[in-house]
Amino acid sequence: MSGVIAGGRIGEGEAKVVRVALLTVSDTRTLATDSSGDLLEAMVESAGHVIAGRTIVSDDAAGIAETVRVWCTRDDVDVVITTGGTGLSGRDVTPEAVEPLFDKRIEGFAVVFHLVSYQSVGLSTMASRATAGLVGTTYVFCLPGSNGAVRDGWEKVIAPQLDSRHRPCNLVDMMPRLGEDVASPRQPG
């Protein structure tokens, strides 16, 4: 049976499993106190996906970039989701760390995230610099660190696009084509 979800519909069949690595950016959280990371892990697993890695890195641009870069080179990671460090304070450096790694930006992610976030927190969404892009063939999504933002970002934006049954299109169906070389034209076949 199909249903409606986040501006699209869910089709028939079995959803494909996606391998997701989770990075919490924080100077104060530990694995024992990382409530947004715990929430995100539970939601990813509840959607039928696999946690390929999870860690916490301090608000340090070099450490954030290195963790994301390494995960994006691994064959067992399809998606990286970061939480935290997207605000406006001096310590918030996640976009500065991750965006230089992007081969392609996913411009629509920030737009849709802010539309969804506005429904929850109103104009306070302006203080977020949520961003997303492709690093090689790995999707990277950078969410704020609050539980509410993580829930909204996952449930209303990321999860539907990581559901291979979501129609009319989804990011999972694009995965096999992410590594195509545009410099070499397709051969007629």
What average pLDDT does the structure give for the chain?
91
Q: What is the pLDDT of residue 122?
A: 94
Does 115 score more than 60 pLDDT? yes
Neighbours of 157 (CB within 10 A): 23
Asked if 92 and 101 touch (Cβ cutoff 8 Å), the reply is no
Domain boundaries, the chain: 17-176
Q: What is the pLDDT of residue 182?
A: 58
Does 5 score more than 60 pLDDT? no
Query: Could you tell me the pLDDT band of residue 175, with boundaries at 50, 70 and 90?
Result: very high
> Among 3-7, 53-57, 90-94, 112-116, whose mean pLDDT is lowest?
3-7
At the top level of CATH, the class of 17-176 is alpha beta
Asked if 92 and 60 touch (Cβ cutoff 8 Å), the reply is no
Task: Read off the pLDDT of residues 9-58 as tens digits, 9 standing for 90 and up.
Answer: 666 778 899 999 999 999 999 999 999 999 999 999 999 999 999 999 99
DSSP letter (8 states) at residue 3: E
DSSP letter (8 states) at residue 181: -
Q: What is the pLDDT of residue 4?
A: 36
Task: Read off the pLDDT of residues 101-111 as tens digits, 9 standing for 90 and up.
Answer: 999 999 999 99
State percent of the chain over pLDDT 70.
89
Q: What is the pLDDT of residue 185?
A: 52
Does 188 score more than 60 pLDDT? no
Q: Which residues contact 92 (CB under 8 A, 6 or more apart)?
A: 59, 85, 86, 129
Long-range pairs, 165-170, Cβ under 8 A, ≥24: 165/10, 165/11, 165/12, 165/13, 165/15, 166/5, 166/6, 166/8, 166/9, 166/10, 166/11, 167/8, 167/9, 167/10, 167/11, 168/8, 170/8
Asked if 31 and 91 touch (Cβ cutoff 8 Å), the reply is no
Query: Could you tell me the pLDDT band of residue 1, with boundaries at 50, 70 and 90?
Result: very low
Distance CA(50)–CA(44), nearest Å, equals: 7
Averaged pLDDT, 130-157: 97
Q: What is the pLDDT of residue 10?
A: 66
Does 2 score more than 50 pLDDT? no
Q: What is the pLDDT of residue 68?
A: 98
